[in-house]
Amino acid sequence: MDEKHALWHHQPESEVIERLATHVKDGLSEAEVDERRSRFGENRISQQKPVPPWLRFLRQFHNPLIYILLVATAVTLLLAEYVDAGVIAAVVLANAIIGYVQESKAEAAINALREMLSSRATVIRAGRKLTLPAVELVPGDLVLLASGDRVPADLRLIKAQDLQVDESALTGESVAAEKQVAILAADAVLADRTNQVFAGTLVTYGQATGVVVATGDTTETGKIAHMITEATVIDTPLTQKISAFSKLLLWVILGLAAVTFLVGMVRGQDIVDTFMAAVALSVAAIPEGLPAVVTITLAIGVSKMASRNAIIRKLPAVETLGSTTVICSDKTGTLTENRMTVQQLLSGGATTEVKGNHDETGAALHREGQSVSVADDVALRELLLCGTLCNDSRLVEKNGHVQTEGDPTEGALLTSAAKAGFSHADTEQANPRLDTIPFESDRQYMATHHRLADGRPVIYLKGSMERVLARCQQQLLADGSLAPLDAKAVETVAHRFAAEGLRLLAFAAAYPEQGSENLAALRENSQDNLVFLGLQAMMDPPRVEAIESVAACQQSGIRVKMITGDHALTAEAIARQIGIKGKLGEDGRLLAYTGAQLSAMDEATLYRVADEASVFARVAPEQKLQLVNALQQRGHVVAMTGDGVNDAPALRQADIGVAMGITGTEVAKEAADMVLTDDNFASIRAAVEEGRGVYDNLIKFITWILPTNLGQGLVIMLAVLIGATLPVLPVQALWLNMTTAIFLGLMLAFEPKEAGIMARPPRDPGTAILSREIVSRILVISLFLLAGAFWLFQWALESGRSVEEARTLAVTLFVVVQSFYLINCRSLNLSAFQVPLFSNPLVPVGILLMLASQLLFIYSPTMNLLFQSAPILWQDWLLILGYGLVVFLLIEGEKSLWVRSRKVIIPAPASRR
């Protein structure tokens, strides 16, 4: 289908019928249907060949960290250490199972999309009206739509009667779209194509006939499914850094083992002993506990985030949040309340502010800072009464919140009246309705006829400002008198309201003097002497907590951008109220770019605009994807929020996709990494905070664990180089690595967040996982371990102690130094004396458990047999503990000097939580 055919909204109905070779009354013949089905296929989204479960499971082992563990498992099996091999293998298996369960996003998202398509459709074929499965539709079919129908394919409308369609899942527009059949501009974006309806959307009102212009994969929904599969899944910062770190570590370990083996051979040492030394070095240097602790730390983060209304679907997403530099947020429901609320009133020539949120009632009307009563202002009372009576919706209370049953705009009118003391039920009962002219798109108004409590008849009317003003000659004043209508003054106020992003409804009345006995004159369009009552201006207001959270994010160096399907003026006004920062235009307002403007940009301009601007309106699904990609190309770590089908490709492309749990479609949830259970931007801010805490704890653990492995490796390598006996055996290295990782290192995963964590700027995605200062600290501790363990081992041998005792001393020194160093690592900047010991009670518990385990290692005959250890003297303990304390104090001194040299500002430790 060529480009001209794709612009169905830009072609008149007659040309659409002609190009699709169908008939406006009879539709397609059965022969034509068969021919087109063979050419275009069924009306369903293609399903990619799924990855077999066994292959998906095997893919979980394709990771450098897992390679290291598999090597460790193989080595321990060769050493016949079956218990240790079983423990390491269990860690590998646990990682694989977790990854297998968490994976699956694209396939599940497309399955959810497939379910969106209508199961049945009403069509006209060969002049007969048929109801058939939607999968049988072909281009050119005539489809009949009615209220409640789900649109079965993309249609170009040829007839429409008051048709309204909920396209929120596809366009992001919260208000139902009014449809018509007139030709539109070629560059009309998806949300503005009012002469088309799209597969998967829902008819909420009216009837229509349309001709199928796209089916299956060629529908807008099908294109989104394709974009989901094509979206590049970006590795998280943690995944990238751990992967690179693990590869480096793998080659360093293998290189050191090879050097150790070669040196031993050159020195003429026994080949078996030399090989075992190389094996011992490999086992000692491999951080077996690293993958397990990384997984557990992330899982703890998942639990913490769940308590703060953020459900994580993919473990690495926990840490990604802490790296986020840009949050691209939808507007409706995330930054706003997703409930229309009247903000301003115009009556009797004066404006009145309506305060309070959707749930609040009572005195809330203010003019120039003073409370206003409807008892003192006839025009204001009539304006609110009109909004209450010319209304088909009602307010109900559910779960402690006031909700609208019916049209959201009418619900806002009822709420504004309730704030002034009007009860909808009581008002309707006192002023019964006699007749109605329902709203229709060609009239642009609704009118109702009532018998007032005093017996007088009245007609109330509400609708678009242009249509209502055209029917009015007078306006009602505050004292109840009538005056000539000053239309220009009304239009001036209306423009000011519109500039603030408010949507307007105008109100009028016909009293007995204007002829209010019935609606006949209005029906005949002959009544143009109505009394103008005023305007009610409304919007979906910003969430209070969103304003606070956006400010907190921006103070943290995280940029917030709004990407919405709403109009540019509304989007800019909301962004301004929320406090979103960005490039300003010549008029001092935030620059807001529309989808049409983005389409006209080249790649370089799009990348620049995506980075500079903060508000994007009326954007198509593919443009959301382009904006996310543009930001990633500029080096940002992007979090993207969304709730509709149209958001799914961008959610999948983003470094972390955030879906709405309440209003979000299943497609969006399946494509996302995280789901917000309260649809609140404040929960994103909370999740970012938790993510930063998780990353801090991972860095603390890596900083703590590497000296153990490096120190053991250096001890073994030095022994080979000088031809000495090995101070640590492979089985002892495994004991040391596994027990210290579990009882000591794992406790760092439970460290509370440090004070000022959200005052820091986001981490630069390009920086190394460990800073130069931390690497230096790791090397210093490793050298302390090397010097202490090797000296203690040699001293014991020279003192006539057995080799088993000497090795036990070396292993115990590692345990004690690592226990002291654990306290150092609770904060990489703060002094350990500034961190309350019991702010993480698991640290002292872990140290006690490690001490108990080491006592078993030393004094249990069974453990002596299994690990070739031996009892040591109490004097040995004093020597080892003293050495550990010295190392602890030296590291604290190094931290203090580093903080002073870098002039690091450290917030008060009391805020740790």
At a CB cut-off of 8 Å and minimum separation 6, what does 320 contact?
236, 237, 238, 637, 639, 655, 656, 673, 691
**Amino acid, res. 133:** P
**Contacts (Cβ under 8 Å, ≥6 apart) of 49:** none
**Whole-number Å distance between alpha carbons of 232 and 730:** 43
Active-site position among 141, 154, 330, 696: 330
DSSP 8-state secondary structure symbol assigned to residue 749: G
Cα distance between residue 801 and residue 797, in whole Å = 5
Instruction: Please classify residue 128 by burial: count the beta carbons closer than 10 Å to its beta carbon, then call 0-12 exposed, 13-18 middle and 19+ buried.
Output: exposed
Triad 426, 427, 431: Cα angle to 5°: 120
Rounded Cα distance between 338 and 574, Å, is 12
Question: What is residue 687's three-state secondary structure?
Answer: helix
Nearest to 133 by CA among 229, 46, 33: 33
- Amino acid residing at 645: V
Q: Is 127 helix (H, G, I), strand (E, B) or coil?
A: coil
Say how far apart CA 435 and CA 88 lie, in whole Å: 79
**CA nearest to 507, candidates 358, 389, 407:** 389
CA pair distance 225, 44, nearest whole angstrom: 11
> Hey, is 510 helix, strand or coil?
strand
Cα–Cα distance measured from residue 573 to residue 310, given in angstroms and rounded to the nearest whole number? 28
| The token pair that represents 36 in the structure block | 């087109």
What type of residue is 895?
Answer: K
Separation between Cα atoms, residue 568 and residue 501, nearest integer Å:
9
Active site residue 602: no
CA distance 509 to 532: 7
Question: What letter represents residue 356's amino acid?
Answer: G
Q: Taking Cα atoms as reference points, which of 643, 595, 647, 640 lies closest to residue 619?
A: 595
How far is 19 from 587, CA to CA, in rounded Å?
46
Strand segments, DSSP code E, in 577-702 are 592-594, 615-617, 638-642, 656-660, 674-676
Amino acid at 10: H
Residue 543 CA to residue 363 CA, distance in Å, equals 21
CA distance 259 to 277: 11
Beta-bridge partners for 283: none
Residue 191: name the closest of 217, 169, 171 by CA. Answer: 171
- Please, are residues 355 and 589 in contact by the beta-carbon 8 Å criterion? no
Rounded Cα distance, 773 and 886, in Å: 20
Q: At what angle do helices 289-306 and 681-722 cross, to 10 degrees?
A: 170
Q: How far apart are CA 133 and CA 120, in angstroms?
A: 4
> Coil, strand or helix: which one is 278?
helix
3-state helix, strand, coil in the chain (%, to 5): 50, 15, 30
Cα–Cα distance, 575 to 592 (Å, whole number): 10
**What is the Cα–Cα distance from 563 to 820, expressed in whole angstroms?**
50
Q: What residues are annotated to the active site?
A: 330
